[in-house]
Amino acid sequence: MAPQQSNNQTSLIVALIIVLGFAIGYFYYSQWAVPARVPIEPPPITGRDDLRTFENLKIDFSILDNKKYKILEVFGESPVNPGTTGKKDMFAPI
């Protein structure tokens, strides 16, 4: 009788381990163990598409008058001409 009781106890332990694994997996994936997040309120709809904020917009272009900016030069051709690229037959061997 000892082997039968040991077999029953082993199968009970295996079943408990499986049930415990499912329970821990359920809690993990259902995010019950994750701390609650504070919801962020959406901005009001009335102010979302309002362009009046740009009505008195002033752009300062004085950076373009800087001496360091004015001495910049373009080297090479502009725009860059890539030349002939790729293969005529893309399925041809190298």
- 6 — phi, psi (to 5°)? -65, -40
The reported pLDDT for the residue numbered 35 is 62
- DSSP structure string for the chain: -HHHHHHHHHHHHHHHHHHHHHHHHHHHHTTSSSPPPPPPPPPPSTTTT--GGGTT-----GGGG-HHHHT----S-SS----S-S-SSTTS--
At residue 7 the predicted structure's pLDDT band, cuts being 50, 70 and 90, is confident
Kindly report which listed range (36-40, 53-57, 67-71) carries the lowest average pLDDT score.
36-40
| Cα 19 from Cα 13, distance rounded (Å) | 10
- Over residues 34-43, the pLDDT tens digits come to 566 767 777 6
| Cα 22 from Cα 28, distance rounded (Å) | 10
- Over residues 71-80, the pLDDT tens digits come to 888 888 778 8
